Amino acid sequence: MRRARFAGLMCLALATLLSIGCSRSYWRRNADAEAYGLIREKTKLDARWAPPRSDVIPSPLSRLYDPADPDYGSLPPDDPYANRYMHAMSDCDRIQGSHYWDKIGMGNSIENPAWVASLPPDTLTGPLLADKIGQQASEEKPSSEPEPLPFAERFALTETLRSWRESLGLKPSAPAGRATVATADVPAKPAASAKNSAKNVATGPPPKAAASTVAKAQRAASAPKVASNVWPASKNAKTPAPQASAPSSNPFDKPTAGDIQLTAFQEVQDDPPLTIPRTLDAEDASPSADDLEPVPHALQVPLPPTEIPDAEEDLSDDPGNPATAQEQPEGPDLATANPTLPAVENLTLEEAVRLSYLHSREYQFEIEELFLAALDLAFDRFQFDVRFLGIGRQRPSSGLDYSVTPGGTESLTATNRIGISRLLPAGGQWAVELANQTLWLFSDAPNESGTASTLSFSFIQPLLFAAGRKVVLEDLTQSERNVLYAARGLARFRQVFFVATVTGNGGYLGLLQQIQGIANQEDNIRRLEDQLTISVADELRSDPLSRTQLESQLLGRLNALRNSRRSLQDQLDQYKIQLGLPPDLYMSIDTKLLTPFQLISSESLALETDVDAEFRLVWETIDQEEPTTEGLRQGLETLRPIVDRIAEIAIPQVEEDFRRVEENLPQRLAALPEPQAEARDRITKNAERDRDFFLYARSQFEARQAEIEEVLGEIDAINVVAASNAQIADPDEAEAAQAAIRSRLQEVYSRIDLLQEDLLRVVRNLQGVQVGLRTELIELNPFEMDQTEAIGYALTNRVDLMNQRALVTDARRRVEVAANTLRAVLDVRIEGDIRTPTVLNNDNPFNFRRTNSNYRAGIGFVAPLDQISQRNAYRVSQINYQRIRRAYMEFEDRVKFAVRQDWRQLQVLEQNFEVSRYALRVAAQQYDLAVEQTADPRTSTGSRAGQSGLNLIQALNNVLQAQNQLIQTWVDYESARLNIYRDMGIMEIDARGIWVDPFYQNGLTRPVGDVQGPPGWNGASDATDGPSTGNGGPGMIPPAPAPPAGVQNKGAAPSALASASKPGSASKKVTHRSASPAESGVRTAAHTDPPGSSPRKAGYERTQQPSVSGRSKSGDGNGSRPTTSTGKPGWRASATAEK
């Protein structure tokens, strides 16, 4: 009896322990460990599809990261109207909800508030955008005010500020002002210098410290609320720690006016400053996570109203700087952003890719797909393990029943059941189960107890239906393959993801192209303004119709510029969303890539401005009729610094450009295919003319240098004569001598005036040479591979094509599985029950006896007669198989088509780029000729009136179109190059998410010398050193073998602009330098000849050249002194354009 009780209690205790189970945290960690192991098992098969990260939990710096406990975390912020139904339901709230939701609480934000620490390091220490736009006002603060906190701490305290404002019931005031939070006992620090801009601020805490700061701010934000009438006594008074207030009994009370929360864009002016407890010491740069002592500190977030400049303000203070394309010099600020977020300045491509990997929802989704596929595989593998399932797939269970009969006996029955089973690969399944029942009887008689147990076993083996490994293992086979598909799909996604980040709709290169286009528009507007100014100033030689045409064109260009700026901001916002960032974050793009498109240096542009502006400041104070030697000398002395800058800056810059062009010319000519002999000759002739034109400009400069000294000698001679004339006593003779001196002074005045114009012409001539040279220095990244080889790489390396090919086999296997359902059911069964004596006759739960047991064996059969549904399923599987076969063939054809299309685009765009270089020279030449025609008085009268204005407008339009076409062709070529490597499947992406290509690995700069790159890379270019990569990278599979004899890929047909290489021949190799927006675009005409024309000797032509002052000058072309004339032709370099 005692043994029966003990055995029953032990069984009951065991069943109770089994029923409790493990915690949810255990099961989560268990699932993660098994899924990650399966992912590693599949990805180690080939290094090409090994992801750098397979963790389904995003980085703590990611905006997608959930800082709450994954198992017992608080609720996310809920909609207040929907939230009420978690607490009260039914009519009149008769049914109360669970108090569990109140117990776990509600979080402050759905997104991770610490994600800002992931921004580039220079933005972490930069000021908030509110500080940036109010910097001028902040710099005017007294030096005794505390210096603003580093950004990471400021952001954390700003979040705290929001919660405290809500708890204090603050009302946002209507007037625009500044939200200020100040505390006491903060040591005074020197005010920030006026030079400390958003790019030049002190370095703040590292990201780790910033994350800790934000975490503390979150805890501070969830602190108990304080009464709304608690205010500090003064700005410098200490505030005691807030006291907890009783929470509202009804969380759905109507909010009052004081409950309105201050949002990020609301500004407060009249509210007194707040004192916010701070979790960091002022001197602590790396706070501890347990440091929760509140320490007061200051926080200021200035929000001054945005200033709107006058409509007549100059459109470009620095027209040559491409960064101005992202600024708004007039009208409303189109880049207005959230002032509580940092401003991301000059975002590089590497940083953009890093941010996209951190915050992209699409990338996170792909990782989750791989993880979910691994979970499915884990379950399908578990199906063939020993499982705690008994007969009939019953799980372990336990029960305790108490029974009482009125006037009779009472009983307590404990029932326990536990079993194990296993599915075999061939379809058989065995199971063993132990069941126990223990009974206690309670009555007036002595208590009785007993126990009985049953050990059951079963084995079933199908012979027809659901029999065989090909049927039973189908789900497991498919799950194994699905994980492999998902791993390769993630590798393919990373390739597509990189291309989309760089060249997608509004990608990085697309944004740079828009910035360059805006810079070109600004330069075009500046040209229009210059010509309109000249036309208005010189009314005698310009007709009103031309002025009206120029003014109308200028107004239209201004509207187009505003639309382009608006479009750029729209694309920037779209790009932020693509990266996973909020669109109200201020962001600008690094324009280093556009440096080669800076066709005229900023120093040369500044020199051109100073030649005219600084000289005119002095020259306009001199009376032309009565000049003095002192005034003339002062005016001449203003030209000396200009001469020095031309000699020390402008000429050496052009010489350096010549050196780079001469070094690159052989390689560039060798890169051109044989059919482009005409282009090769044109490039050679252009280089020769550039050299001749530079020598002419330099000789003119040297002549003007000597002339300055000659004029100074003339002034000294006049002073000597004037001194001797002072001794003449005869009035008539003295007057004659004075008239002679006046005549000589007027002649010197004219010589100095013409000398200044000559120096201005020299600067512009040098700019013309620089434009031609730098246009030739823009290069394309190389791609050298024939079409057949490219298709071979694609058919061998495209992982999505591998997956599509495997899907055909999957469909074929499903046909066999469907066919198995048509078979009859024929199973062999072996079963048995081994029992103890009955419960009242046994006190030992393991007293099994043969006499109380039975054993069974048999065969089960089900005839396959009602099989219409199975018949249809079988036929559907066959049709699906054929569909998937056709889908694979189409997919393979589309892969070939994509590669062929990309290859053809590369060939055409390579030749189009050469045409774009020439088109830019021709357009500049047209503009130069139009300027000359406008200055000709004969074009402003009669039937030719207005024609000069139209010609000038058309020339400016052509210059703008040629400038935009040049950058567009470069971007299109680079996009096609990225596309073909993506479509060939050989775009190896490193752990940072960057393509293993010399250009991208070297920071968007061509590495110097011969470097190994992916297949198709060849050649070298001048640039900074960059890392070398193996040819194709690890895991690269060689292209498929050539097609059999008789099968030939003929490639693309030649066109007027491009001739594709013959089948089997190597495609053209292209060299390219990186690119940057032109500071002024093309100011001068190109000295090139159209195809078929005879070249001009020495690159010069005889034509009239107007000056800024409206006069024309001529020279002998050998550096001799020019003479004043009106309307007379003179030798002029054809690459010079005047304002």
Q: How confident is the model at residue 205 (pLDDT cuts 50, 70, 90)?
A: very low
- Torsion from C-alpha of 604, 609, 614, 615, nearest 10 degrees: 90
Work out the angle between the directed axes of helices 868-935 and 731-777 (0-180°, nearest 10). Answer: 160
At which of 744, 763, 782 does a domain end? 763
Do 154 and 205 form a contact (C-beta atoms < 8 A)? no
Whether residue 427 is contained in a domain is answered as no
Long-range CB contacts (within 8 A, 24+) of 1064-1067: 1064/786, 1064/788, 1065/786, 1066/784, 1066/785, 1066/786, 1067/783, 1067/784, 1067/785, 1067/786, 1067/787, 1067/903, 1067/906, 1067/907
Please report the pLDDT score of residue 121 as a whole number.
74
Residues 612 and 564 in one domain: no
Pair (515, 658) in one structural domain? no
Rounded distance, CA 895 to CA 801, Å? 8
Compute the mean pLDDT over every residue in the chain, rounded to the nearest whole number. 73
pLDDT, tens only, 945-987 = 567 778 888 888 998 999 999 999 999 999 999 999 999 999 9
Residues 581 and 517 grouped into a single domain: yes
230 by DSSP, 3-state: which?
coil
State both tokens at 973.
Answer: 């070529």
Residue at 86 is within a domain: no
The lowest-confidence range among 122-126, 134-138, 519-523, 605-609 is 134-138
Per-residue pLDDT tens over the stretch 843-889: 888 889 988 899 999 999 999 999 999 999 999 999 999 999 999 99
- For residues 886-908, average pLDDT: 96
Most confident among 61-65, 86-90, 540-544 (mean pLDDT): 61-65
Considering the domain boundaries, does residue 991 fall inside one?
no
Q: Is 465 helix (H, G, I), strand (E, B) or coil?
A: coil
Closest by CA to 116, choosing from 128, 105, 104, 108, is 128
Closest CA to 935 of 421, 546, 467: 546
Cα of 616 vs its chain's centroid, Å: 47
Beta carbons of 353 and 992 less than 8 angstroms apart: yes
Are residue 747 and residue 600 in the same domain, yes or no? yes
627 assigned to some structural domain = yes
Assign 766 a pLDDT band (cuts: 50, 70, 90): confident
In a shared domain, residues 601 and 587: no
**pLDDT tens-digit readout, 391-430:** 988 999 989 999 988 877 788 999 999 999 999 999 999 9
pLDDT at 468 over 90: yes
- pLDDT value of position 891: 97
Mean per-residue pLDDT for 305-328? 40
Residue 902 lies in a domain: no
> What kind and span of H or E run contains 88?
strand 88-89
Residues 637 and 691 in one domain: yes
| Residue predicted with more confidence, 573 or 1102 | 573
Q: Enter the tokens of residue 324.
A: 């101005």
Which percentage of the chain shows pLDDT scores above 90? Answer: 33
| Helix H or strand E segment including 862 | strand 849-862
Indicate the pLDDT class of residue 180, thresholds 50, 70 and 90.
very low
CA–centroid distance for 83 within its chain: 37
CB 667 within 8 A of CB 779: no
Q: Residue 777 corresponds to which tokens in the numbers above? A: 């220095």
Domain identity same for 587 and 730: no
- Which is it for the CA torsion 1109, 1115, 1121, 1126, positive or negative? negative
On the question of pLDDT at 216 being above 80, the answer is: no
Region 36-49 average pLDDT: 89
Alpha helices (runs of H) in 856-1015, residue ranges in sequence order: 868-935, 947-984, 998-1001
Q: What is the pLDDT of residue 627?
A: 85
Among 27-41, 82-96, 272-286, 359-373, whose mean pLDDT is lowest?
A: 272-286
Q: Which domain holds residue 752?
A: 595-763
Confirm whether 141 is domain-assigned: yes
- pLDDT value at residue 516: 92
Do 240 and 328 belong together in one domain?
no
The average pLDDT across 374-380 equals: 96
Residues 605 and 581 in one domain: no
Residue 306 has pLDDT above 50, yes or no: no
Residue 576 shares a structural domain with residue 613: no
* pLDDT of amino acid 1061: 35
Q: What is the DSSP string of 52-77?
A: S---SSPPTTSTT---S-TTTPPBPP
pLDDT at 1042 over 60: no
Q: What is the pLDDT of residue 590?
A: 93
Q: Determine the distance from the C-alpha atom of residue 311 to the mean position of all C-alpha atoms in its chain, rounded to a whole number.
A: 33
Confidence grade of residue 716 (pLDDT, cut at 50, 70, 90): confident
What pLDDT was estimated at residue 935?
A: 67
Domains contained in the chain, number: 3
498 vs 631 pLDDT, higher one:
498
* Amino acid identity for residue 521 in this structure: Q
Two structure tokens written together for 422: 């296993």
**pLDDT tens per residue across span 728-765:** 777 878 788 888 888 888 888 888 888 888 888 888 78
Residue 1025 lies in a domain: no
Q: Which of 763, 792, 816 is the last residue of a domain?
A: 763
pLDDT reported for residue 708 = 87
Give, for 1130, the enclosing helix (H) or strand (E): strand 1130-1133
Greater pLDDT, 970 or 189: 970
In this structure, are residues 1104 and 1112 in contact, taking their beta carbons and an 8 Å threshold? yes
What stretches of 85-181 show up as alpha helix (H) in DSSP? Answer: 100-104, 121-124, 129-133, 135-139, 151-168
Chain centre distance of CA 1137 = 39
Co-location of 178 and 321 in the same domain: no
- The pLDDT assigned to 923 comes to 86
**Predicted pLDDT of residue 3:** 56
At 483, list the tokens. 């994980």
Q: Is residue 996 part of a domain?
A: no
Res 939 pLDDT > 90:
no
Query: d(Cα 532, Cα 62) in Å, to the nearest integer?
Result: 53
For residue 861, give the H/E element and its range: strand 849-862
Same domain, residue pair 565 and 607:
no
pLDDT for res 5: 54
Structure tokens at 963: 């400038």
CA atoms of 1087 and 1137, how far apart (whole Å)? 11
DSSP, res 646:
I
Most confident of 297-301, 498-502, 532-536, 1018-1022: 498-502
Give the pLDDT of residue 123.
53
Higher-scoring residue by pLDDT: 1115, 424: 424
pLDDT reading at 252 higher than 80: no
| pLDDT at residue 77, as a whole number | 92
Query: Which of 566, 501, 142, 514 lies closest to 322, judged by CA?
Result: 514
pLDDT for the residue numbered 938: 63
Least confident segment among 37-46, 161-170, 553-562, 592-601: 161-170
- Give the separation between CA 1035 and CA 491, rounded to whole angstroms: 13
202 pLDDT more than 80: no
- Choose between 1083 and 646: higher pLDDT: 646
The pair of structure tokens assigned to 519 is: 């810079």
Tokens of 727: 């001794």
Q: How confident is the model at residue 442 (pLDDT cuts 50, 70, 90)?
A: confident
pLDDT band at 122 (very low <50, low <70, confident <90, very high): low
- Please give the average per-residue pLDDT across 558-569, as a whole number: 93
